[in-house]
Structure 1
Amino acid sequence: MSESITYEQVGEILGLAAARDQRTVGDGDVMAWYDDLNAAAVSYADARGALAAFYVEQANVRSEHRFRITTPDVIRLARQARRERVKNFVYEPADPDEPTDQFQARMRAQLRAIGDGRVPPPQKMPALEGGPAPNVAAHLRGLLREVPDDEDGDGEPKPRVGAMTVTCPREDCKARVGRHCKRPSGKPRTEPHPARIALAQGKAYDPDAERAEMDRRRAASAALLNADRAAS
């Protein structure tokens, strides 16, 4: 918890607010602000920072829509400032084998010091250093598989062409560019016809060869079905 704010410091904060928005300040105002800011553990430094941030925000508001700062505004902006300070927090251990209770107490103290502004917050996100452990690469070699070369014989990158960039060459489909191939029923297929994929890859389309392949598959399916029936 940050240092409590004193009654005199609350009076100074309200005086600074009055200098900006011309409010009148009485003992009741000071007492209410004192109770609220101490209940929220807002320090004097954070309260002053929140006050300045509030009036910077108000500069972007039309004059008829501006309003005077209240304790909820101060608490919100003070907490926001604390979150920003500790955003890139990296714990600094006393030693690698410190016990759990020491770790927890030390981490809380470091967070409190940065949150209070007594220690400068990290300026950059922490970077990974040192690379992987020596045995990581050896383990990965047993898990990874080789990816086929993505270059043609001349060392130039192979263009990646999708099947839907060409018209399907099948007579019973003829799906236009950008449209899905169709089934004989007229419903769209989830996958392009193999002939369309081949055409997109620059391969020649041979309808006779495709029909022969389809006939072969049908014959194989029929033979398997007949064998199952004979076995039963």
Structure 2
Amino acid sequence: MALIIVIFHSAIRNFGMGPLFVLMGSMQFFLIILTSSVYNLYFDKYIFSPGSSVLFTSTLFCILLVFHTESIKKVRSLIYGLLLSNIAITLLCYISLQQIYLDNKSYNVEFIKNIFNHDTDLFLLGTCLLYLDSIFLIILYELMNYKFKNKFLFLKILLPTSLVCLFDSVVYYSLNNFSDDIYLDLIIGNVIGKQITVVFFSVTIYLYLNIIGKKHRFTHPKKIKDVLKIFSF
């Protein structure tokens, strides 16, 4: 995922933002399937979903990368594009599922039901959290830019995404799985999985920005008020 994102981002000069935006929008359906149905066990105890740990985290890194190298208008377009694509996917899955329930003659109906029959409330919760995560991520990143200017690029990538992923893991599973017996295992597993992914993506994005010569942003917030302009989203 890290390699795919940097390849598509590097193609912006030749093809514009479209391919990268389409990539991230299309990945949302893949994210839904993995998050709702695929969980892995590691250390013989902790459970994590590759959809949440890898694909969701990669979405945040893509947002941060676009914000670092492009204008705020473009990252706003990406965020709202992801939100609208998530809502559209949910609506289409619901309509398709209702049609499948009315059609008992289709081949592999049960398999298709399992794909489309994800928890709508759960997915809408994830969509709302994606919006909040994106805002928090940009604000934290801009605060570090305000404080450190052109220094500590790796930490400016690592710390905001690490904190936002921690926030997302705790809130998501607290709202959805608080009463489950494996509640703590789910949170711990998700936190560990995301933090490992954060480190890997941070290293990849940091090396990529150094290679293409965009280590520093062209503009930095001069006042705290400039950071808070993010709420214009």
TM-based fold match above 0.5: no
Mark the structure with the bigger radius of gyration.
Answer: 1
TM-score, structure 2 as length reference: 0.19
**Larger RCO: Structure 1 or Structure 2 (Cα < 8 Å, ≥ 6 residues apart)?**
2
TM-score, structure 1 as length reference: 0.19
